Amino acid sequence: MVMIKHLSITIAIIFLSFGQLSAQTTAQQIANISKHVTRVNTIQLQRKHYEFMCDEKMKVDYYYDKGQIVKISLDYGTIGDVYACEDHYYQNGKLIFVYEFVEGGPACEGCIKKNEYRSYIYNSKVIRYLKNRSVAKCRKCQFGPASKQYKLLKVKTEAEIKRVLCGVRR
C-alpha cells in the first residue's frame, strides 16, 4: 500500500514537471524564434526582387544569408479596399515565423482598420498565434510541404513564383 502511494506521488511529480518543462520549452522556442527574426531584420542580407501581375501587381523579395533563404516578403498590393503583405521567416530550410499585415476592408467607412497576425512555428505547427499582439486561435495552424510558404522556398524562377502565388498554369 505504501509502495503504491509513493509510486502515485512519483508519477504525479513527473507529470507536473513535464507540464512545466513543456511550458518552458515553448517559451524558449518563442524566444529563439524572436531572436532569429530580429537578427534577420537587422543584418545585411542579399536580396532578389520580383514583380509581376496577379489580380494586382505583386512584389516578392527573397532574402539570403550566406546563400540560404532566411526571409520571403510578399506585397500583395491593394485589392479592392484592402492592402496586404506577409513576411515568412526560415531557419535551416524550415518555416519558423509568419507575419501578416492587412489594412482596410469592407464596412470600414471613414476608418482605417489594421490587423497584424504573427505565427510562431515549431516543427511546422503554430505554437503561438497573435492577432494585434493578443493571443488568439490560429487561422492556419500547420504548414506542410504543400503550403504556400514551403512551395515558395522550393521554387527557382519568377514563373514558378507566379504559379504558386497566382495559380497561373503555363
Helix or strand or coil: residue 107?
coil
Torsion of CA 32, 33, 38, 42, to 10 degrees: 100
Residue pair 55/78 in contact by the 8 Å Cβ criterion: no
What is the CB neighbour count within 10 angstroms for residue 42? 8
Residue type, 163: R
Residue type, 87: D
As a whole number, the mean pLDDT across the chain is 85
Q: Which three cell numbers stand for residue 59?
A: 512584389
Residue 120: which of 22, 35, 18, 20 has the closest Cα? 35
Q: Which three cell numbers stand for residue 39?
A: 537578427
- Bridge partners of 100, per DSSP, are 86, 117
For the full predicted model, state whether its pTM sits above 0.85. no
Sort strands 94-104 and 114-122 into parallel, antiparallel or unpaired: antiparallel
Q: Where are the domains of the chain?
A: 40-166
Query: Interior CA angle at 169 toward 69 and 88, to 5°?
Result: 25
Per residue in 95-137, pLDDT (tens digit) is 999 999 999 876 656 677 899 999 999 999 999 999 999 999 9
First to last CA, the chain: 74
Q: So what's the pLDDT on residue 11? A: 40
Per residue in 134-168, pLDDT (tens digit) is 999 999 999 999 999 999 999 989 999 999 999 85
Better-predicted residue by pLDDT, 16 or 145:
145
Instruction: Walk across the sheet containing 125-131 and list its strands.
Output: 46-53, 57-65, 68-79, 82-91, 94-104, 114-122, 125-131, 134-135
Per residue in 53-78, pLDDT (tens digit) is 988 899 999 999 999 999 999 999 88
Could you give the CA distance from residue 127 to residue 168 in angstroms, rounded to a whole number? 33
